[in-house]
Structure 1
């Protein structure tokens, strides 16, 4: 008996003898049937805008478990998004029970940034007796959108879920996420460097991080690899006094970093919708092409923007504006996916 124990210990050490892991309870954050799209931390907190979770479930009811107060949006069976505001604890998502059978659930949290400090920690699902989860079919390709408040959906009805990246991703049936933050710049600026006297988070430095926060860990790009990355950044750099040379240097560097982290993706660099930095953005693309990157392209958005009808403040798209921009950009994304 002692000999068998010693042999078993050696085999365990070598990883030869497998020990069955305990079954994972349906609906727990560790449930392998729950798909986390975008950048999520190991504590099941979504980072950046546009991260979401999706899962299939059986039965007639489902509830979401939260620790403290948060806002989130959810859709059941592909229906309209509903917003839960200032909720905590066990949140019933089916006050009217569903028909018995198989259903789908998508949940997206309001990003915790700026003055909003909700508790975006997913703690699992509560299902009825005898109910279970199941894995949904996963799209073959994904799209990542990189940008500022315009990409994040600031001022849109459902924020990230009403923004042009989300609309395009859903229309094309792909995974999608928004690495975007309201107020973000291309260049990292301290208050002293900014003509506005306030700091600006720079995506050139923070794109590779799990979140936009200072000292956030590096993101593991093996978690997912998008087929297409769309970059739309620069609106805030204008107001902070960045000059042409610095912008071009920073943009070329960002495109290089995006390529290093996503070696097989097609990269689309957009002329920002209001037109600033068009020459610099295009030249940065030419710089990268000259360096041998044949899968990066410039998208000229001239004529896409009408601030009078597409925005309430002249800068941030309203719901109609996002729909227009999605219609304009979607063919470029579809072509890149096909390529």
Structure 2
């Protein structure tokens, strides 16, 4: 009993030291603090990989917020989105050293939720050393949503060419509409098959199981990969969404090879996500100015779903995106969806989810001052 009491007292003392300071001083939060709610992929430094990685804070009496970032942060800067009390994300450019994060006047209050997320599909590394809050601020637990989306894909899910990157892409727009947590593992230019493609040395079927995205190859201080510990994805996803294949087609991967690769990938995912629905997007294709749309691997995605059903896995579903994207929805020079195009896709996918039986959460579990329930 004495030993247990000693442990509890030491733990309490550590928590007090990490989260409190004398009344006339700011509050410094170490990067190891258990109440920082990390999302996405972070290495041991800790630093971000993959678009959309970041963290959430639930702070009582928040007035000011600073981030101290380490040397592995992208130089000369990286762009992050900052959302206060579930409001729109505002872009803030941060760099190595001390960074003051602007907060709206409405952000100060009894209870504030701050979400900070990397935007870019490349050059998106943020190495967190510590967080500094105003005196009197206190870090509280963040309760995640009951819905957690895991999106796997390529540039069409990473928000390539958008001003705010992934934050304006359909995965984030959908998760916001459903009040869901989100993890995005989408790498522009990468094929699903583990082959070189458009500067990526690995495919997503390899890289998804690593901490780092495929940009690791060009990063001098971290040009290696490490296995990802999926136990760190807490809570685990409730729904897995896959939209991939464009870069396999561009690298002349045959339909039969692509289908075999996809089925092997889903089989490996099932060792992690045994009961979660897996939603398989068909391609919305590459629209042209004359109104035509070029589709890759016609029929393959339906055959992939049917093959899983034949194995007894009825929890894999086809999301037919045919006709979702037209010429007016894409940038004419690269045929990737514009901001308005991603909004359209998110609206159509949200409608599909509702028809399928999934409704948005009524409210975010972690309440914030001034946010209606």
Report the TM range for the smaller structure's normalisation.
Answer: 0.7 to 0.9
Mapped to 2, the partners of 1:313 and 1:254 lie a distance apart of 32
User: Map of 1:108-127 to 2, 5 A cutoff?
Assistant: 108-111=117-120, 113=122, 116=123, 119-127=125-133
Deviates more, 1:19-28 or 1:260-269: 19-28
Task: Tell me the residue number matched to 1:319.
Answer: 339
Cα-to-partner distance string for 1:169-191 (whole Å, 9 max, x where unaligned):
1110111111111111111224x
Give the paired residue count: 319
Kept after mapping to 1: 8 A contact 2:150/2:239: yes
Please point out which of 159, 162, 169 is paired with 1:153: 159
RMSD of aligned residue pairs (Cα, Å): 2.6
Mapped to 2, the partners of 1:41 and 1:240 lie a distance apart of 30
SS of residue matched to 2:257: helix
Kept after mapping to 2: 8 A contact 1:311/1:321: no
User: Map of 1:18-37 to 2, 5 A cutoff?
Assistant: 18=7, 20-21=10-11, 22-23=14-15, 25-26=18-19, 27-37=29-39
Kept after mapping to 2: 8 A contact 1:47/1:111: no
Kept after mapping to 2: 8 A contact 1:74/1:82: yes
1:16, distance to aligned residue in structure 2 (A) = 11
Mapped to 1, the partners of 2:243 and 2:269 lie a distance apart of 13
Kept after mapping to 2: 8 A contact 1:150/1:316: yes
2:63 is the alignment partner of 1:60: yes
Quick one: structure 1 residues 218 and 67, their matched pair in 2 at CA, closer, same or farther if it must change by over 3 Å?
closer
Kept after mapping to 1: 8 A contact 2:36/2:56: yes
Kept after mapping to 2: 8 A contact 1:166/1:177: no
Mapped to 1, the partners of 2:345 and 2:63 lie a distance apart of 38
2:255 is the alignment partner of 1:244: yes
Mapped to 1, the partners of 2:254 and 2:157 lie a distance apart of 23
Kept after mapping to 2: 8 A contact 1:70/1:88: no
Task: Tell me the residue number matched to 1:210.
Answer: 211
Cα-to-partner distance string for 1:37-82 (whole Å, 9 max, x where unaligned):
2222233222222222111222321112212443222122223322
TM superposition score normalised by structure 2? 0.78
TM superposition score normalised by structure 1? 0.85
Mapped to 2, the partners of 1:30 and 1:89 lie a distance apart of 18
Mapped to 1, the partners of 2:299 and 2:273 lie a distance apart of 25
Kept after mapping to 2: 8 A contact 1:28/1:125: yes
After TM superposition, which residue ranges in structure 1, 4 or more long, deviate above 6 angstroms? none
Please point out which of 138, 162, 173 is paired with 2:168: 162
Gaps in structure 2 of 5+ consecutive residues: 20-28, 72-76, 218-223, 286-294, 360-373
Mapped to 2, the partners of 1:95 and 1:37 lie a distance apart of 21
Deviates more, 1:227-236 or 1:77-86: 77-86
Mapped to 2, the partners of 1:119 and 1:251 lie a distance apart of 29
Specify which structure has the bigger relative contact order, considering alpha-carbon pairs within 8 angstroms and separated by 6 or more residues. Answer: 2
Mapped to 2, the partners of 1:72 and 1:38 lie a distance apart of 14
Quick one: structure 1 residues 96 and 296, their matched pair in 2 at CA, closer, same or farther if it must change by over 3 Å?
closer
Kept after mapping to 1: 8 A contact 2:121/2:160: no
